[in-house]
Chains A and B, each alone.
Chain A
Amino acid sequence: GQNIDQPTEMTATEGAIVQINCTYQTSGFNGLFWYQQHAGEAPTFLSYNVLDGLEEKGRFSSFLSRSKGYSYLLLKELQMKDSASYLCAVRDVETGFQKLVFGTGTRLLVSP
């Protein structure tokens, strides 16, 4: 089976740091993705992890532990425009082809 869990909603203050956690269970794993989705817009690719460890990209970092089925997205120096939903997705390998399995998303509200 496939199961991806992430918190439904989080709040934070402008300029602060926030960590969004994601735990997963899949039958076959070939990478974990984080997407940002503003209301009514397309999901936008943020980061990709396939090996254990931390990937840093500007204000955003993503961490993966395959043995624990765990990832987090770290957002630093929060800005109002970071208010959005953050989707954790696992690339599930079945029969040689790949699909993305998404969590329900974490809605982040950044306040002044």
Chain B
Amino acid sequence: DAGVTQSPTHLIKTRGQQVTLRCSPKSGHDTVSWYQQALGQGPQFIFQYYEEEERQRGNFPDRFSGHQFPNYSSELNVNALLLGDSALYLCASSLDPQGVGAKNIQYFGAGTRLSVL
């Protein structure tokens, strides 16, 4: 049973460029959440996708956008990259965002390390 997979592993971009990160959720999961983790910090919630819609968003600008496909995989797009966007971007998958109990555990991928020069 494959866990959460993310691609690419590492990425180097320059300021002003655009980037697309990809995530495949754990088998059977229908919800994908994206987090940004700066060095030495905890992950910060970017947004969550369920049924191909953005259902909740953290305190991130509109330069951050996403998409969820019918097979539940997801993309994170960042436009007009800034130096401060350099971070580890984590994808987490879970089942049923409105349920309660252990089935809402979020399982994380290994992340994409983005460096903006």
Contact = CB atoms under 8 A, between A and B. Distances in A.
Interface of A: 4, 30-31, 33, 35, 41-45, 48, 50, 87, 89, 91, 94-105
Contacts of A91: 104
B106 A100 contact: yes
Contacts of B108: 35, 42-44
Contact of A104 (B40, B92, B106, B107): B40
Given A43-B108, A45-B107, A97-B98, A103 B90 contact: no
A104 B117 CA distance: 25
Contacts, number: 66
B43 A102 contact: yes
Nearest to B43: A102
Interface of B: 4, 33, 35, 40-45, 48, 50, 55-56, 58, 90, 92, 97-98, 100-102, 104-111
Dominant SS among interface residues on chain A: strand
A48 B110 contact: no
A58 to B, nearest CB: 16
